[in-house]
Structure 1
Amino acid sequence: MAEQEKRMPEIGSIVAFANKTGRYAGEVMETNGSRVLVKTLAVLKHPEQGDLHHPYDPDVPMFHERRAMSYTEKTYVPLGDIGPFRGEVPDYKASLMDALRAELEGLDRLRRWTERGMDNLRQLEKEY
C-alpha cells in the first residue's frame, strides 16, 4: 500500500498511460485509490486491430476496429498502467497520425515477412 502511495502521480502532472492496446500521454485530473483519471493529450501508440485473444488471425467472428482515444477524452486508468512522461507533449493530431503510420508500417512489415516466408516454404515444398 505504501508503494502505491509513493507512485501516485500528482494532479496536473503529465504521464504516459496504457488504455486497452494503445499508449497515450495525458494530464492527471484526479486520483481515486488505485485508479487515476487522466485526460488524453497525445497518442504514443495506436491501438491494435483485430481479436486480441486470437492475434494475427483474420478469420475470427469479430475483427475489432479500435480507434485511438480522442483529444481531451478522459478515462480512469489503473495505477499500474501509468508511468512518467518525459519530454514535450506532442500536438494531438500530429501524434495521432504518427502513431497510425507506425501501426501501418508495422503491419506492412509483417505482411512482407509473411510473403517472404510463404515464398520460402513454397520453394521448400517443391524440393521436398
Structure 2
Amino acid sequence: MTEENFKVGDRVTAIYKTGKYIGELTDIRPNAYLVRVLAVAKHPMQGDLHNPKQTDVTMFHQRRALAFREQANVPKNMVKHYEDEIPEYKASLKESVDKMKRQLAEDSKEWNAKSLEMVEGLEADYFK
C-alpha cells in the first residue's frame, strides 16, 4: 500500500519494536507515521532486543506495552490498515499478556522462564 493511501484518523495496526498495536494515525511524517495506541494486539517480547531469546546479556529488560493513547513514531513499512472493531484497551492488554504467558510456559528454556518472570511483574502492575 502506498503512502497516499493513509490519512490522519485512519485506523491502523502498527508494529513497534516487538509489540503490535491497534490505533489511529495522528500525523504523517517523512519516515514514519505517528500512531495513537488504542489497543494491544501483541505484547512486546522481554529481554534485550539486540540479543533476542538470550539471557546472558548485560541487562535483561522488562518491556512494557505502550499505554492507552500513547503515541509512537512507527516506520511506514510497519503500519497497515485496520478494518475491524477496535477492542477495549485493558481487555486487549489482558488478552495479549495471557497469550504471551501461555506461550512462554510451553517451554522450560532459561529465556522463557526469565521472560515469564518479567511478564508476571508487569501483569501485577498493569492490573492492580
TM bucket (normalised to shorter chain) is 0.7 to 0.9
Q: Name the structure 1 match of 2:34.
A: 37
Residue type of the alignment partner of 2:19: G
Which residue of 3, 6, 28 corresponds with 1:5? Answer: 3
* Distance in 2, Cα, partners of 1:91 & 1:69: 14
Match of 2:44 in 1: 47
Q: Distance in 2 between matches of 1:89 and 1:103?
A: 20
Tell me which of 77, 99, 111 is aligned to 1:102: 99
Picking from 77, 82, 87, the partner of 1:85 is 82
- 8 Å contact from structure 2 (residues 10, 81) kept in 1: no
For residue 53 of structure 1, report the CA deviation from its aligned partner: 2.8
The reply to whether residue 19 of structure 1 matches residue 16 of structure 2 is yes
Question: Which residue does the alignment assign to 1:72?
Answer: 69
Q: Deviation at 1:60?
A: 1.7
- The residue number in structure 2 matching 1:119 is none
Q: 1:121 maps to what in 2?
A: none
Secondary structure at the aligned position of 1:96 is classed as: helix
Identity of aligned residues (%): 39
Structure 1 vs Structure 2 CA RMSD: 1.8
Deviations 1:27-78 (A, max 9, x none): 1111112311110000000000012333322222210110000000011111
Structure 1: 5+ residue stretches without partners: 115-128
The equivalent residue for 2:113 is: none
Rounded to whole Å, the distance in 2 between the matches of 1:40 and 1:54 is 26
Deviation at 1:85, TM superposition (A): 1.3
Q: Is the 8 A contact 2:11 2:25 kept in 1?
A: yes
| CA displacement at 1:110 relative to structure 2 | 2.2
Taking structure 1 as the reference length, what is the TM-score of the superposition? 0.78
- Quick one: distance in 1 between partners of 2:73 and 2:51? 26
* Structure number, greater radius of gyration: 1
CA distance in 2, matches of 1:66, 1:21: 9
Name the TM-score, length of structure 2 as normaliser. Answer: 0.78
